[in-house]
Amino acid sequence: MPLNRREFTKQTAVAGAGLALTGVVGALATAPEALASDESEVYGAGHGESHGHALGYGPLVADPEGVLALPAGFSYRIVTHSGVTRMESGELTPSNHDGTAAFAGPRGTTYLVNNHELYGPRANWPHPVPLTEGLVYDPTAPGGCTVVEIHRDGTVAEWVGLAGTSTNCAGGSTAWGTWLTGEENSDLAGVNGMTKDHGYIFEVDPRDRGANLDPKPIKAFGRYDHEAVVIDPKRGHAYLTEDAALPFGLLFRWVPPKGFEHGRGKLRTLADDAGVLQAFKCTDSGGRFVDDLSRATRIGTVYGVDWVDVPDRDARTVPVRKQFGPGEVTRGCKLEGMWWADGGAYVVSSFARAEWSPGAAHDGQVWFYDPKRRTLTLKVLLGVNAAPEEDGALDGPDNITVSPYGGIVIAEDGRGVQHLFGATDSGRTYPIARNDLNDAEFTGVCFSPDGGTLFANIQEPGILLAITGPWRRQPRR
């Protein structure tokens, strides 16, 4: 994601000039094993034991290679490395790895689709996504996706799945085995040298290279700064996050047209105005409108959700998020990663600062949207990290995945030290890995289909890692 916390602070300094840091939430989870409960209590070590197992996997051990610190008994392997490893074509692996998903292939093969978050003209990047014939949307744009094939014997092949797109960020997998990649950039043709309009979702099939030919944007999902997308396999709705500021972005729902059935290749058949695109509007337990997700200060907060139609989803003159007036929709600071599981969507708001958010300051929220009940429940709440340069405190959730061992795993895009960390169903956190290479964010966190390997990226320069070890079931509370 191009707008990280440090850059976001700079860009909003004018808007927040002269305002004091107020309304800081007390007693939120900041350190591993801490918990922000309904009573705003903080629990330390010793409360994580369940069935003889403590929470997490123990302290992180510094990496002698200076890449990735892991708990004792865990190890990692570098799968791709921008500017170092080569693709099938002989070209070097592109840079700036971001959203990733894993898919089962034949004979024990695992396919990974890996976004490359590259913005602006291609000439700005030494390792853009190669312009493979037939797979290019806009030849002036540097981003796209690569497909990484890992065979059972450990050998790796990589090729282009989509090229010529811009700022490919979180994305999301589908129940029919494809990857939806979104452009977190909405430049129109003629801006930044682009020859086509950007700000769309594209579908990439890791198993069928022919299905990716002649890339077509899914314009029905809207044109804006896309982050993540998930599909409700039961109802067919798509949920999409928008990472934007001034004003903050929105959580969207796309309702398919009557009679539409999802499946391989079906999304590219949609008309540009197919279905209905809507933005969320939350109310609290008293029926009062909630203007911003930063209003929530306790884990367990539940909001009711209504959906408001988007007037102009292709946003030719006015960005989608600016098409709504006060009181019409709910906003959130840096709405980013999502993952579909447990019958609903887990949704991230990376952080909020009181100097530009209307509610309480925090360093990360994870919500759960239940489409059956139409409720949004706060599951994880991270307090403001007072010492980001020190190892320990956790902040800035971004990409997430639901763990086969319970709870969720979060890729950190915070200030200072960067981690992969887990969170239980009650919101308690524990470290899994630390970036010992640099201060770049973690991205693309996901498990292999068999649950034995955790994949994640160090975004810059672009390193895809495979982590293995003694995974075990984590306590729920």
pLDDT for position 11: 37
Q: How far apart are CA 125 and CA 193, in angstroms?
A: 14
Better pLDDT: 46 or 428:
428
Query: pLDDT by residue (tens digit) across 59-97?
Result: 999 999 999 999 999 999 999 999 999 999 999 999 999
Residue 21 confidence (pLDDT) above 70? no
Q: Where are the domains of the chain?
A: 85-217
Query: pLDDT by residue (tens digit) across 344-394?
Result: 999 999 999 877 789 999 999 999 999 999 999 999 999 999 998 889 889
* Helix (H), strand (E), coil (C) string for 391-426: CCCCCCEEEEEECCCCCEEEEECCCCCCEEEEECCC
b (16+ CB within 10 A) / e for 53-84: ebbbbeebeebeeebbbbbeebebebbbbbee
In which residue are the tokens 């010793």 written? 46
Q: Are 203 and 210 in contact (CB under 8 A)?
A: no
pLDDT for position 20: 25
pLDDT for position 142: 98
pLDDT-derived band at 7 (thresholds 50, 70, 90) equals very low
Residue 416 confidence (pLDDT) above 60? yes
Query: pLDDT by residue (tens digit) across 90-144?
Result: 999 999 999 999 999 999 999 999 999 999 999 999 999 999 999 999 999 999 9
Q: Where would I find the beta strands (DSSP E) of 319-404?
A: 335-341, 344-349, 365-370, 375-381, 397-402
Q: Are 412 and 382 in contact (CB under 8 A)?
A: no
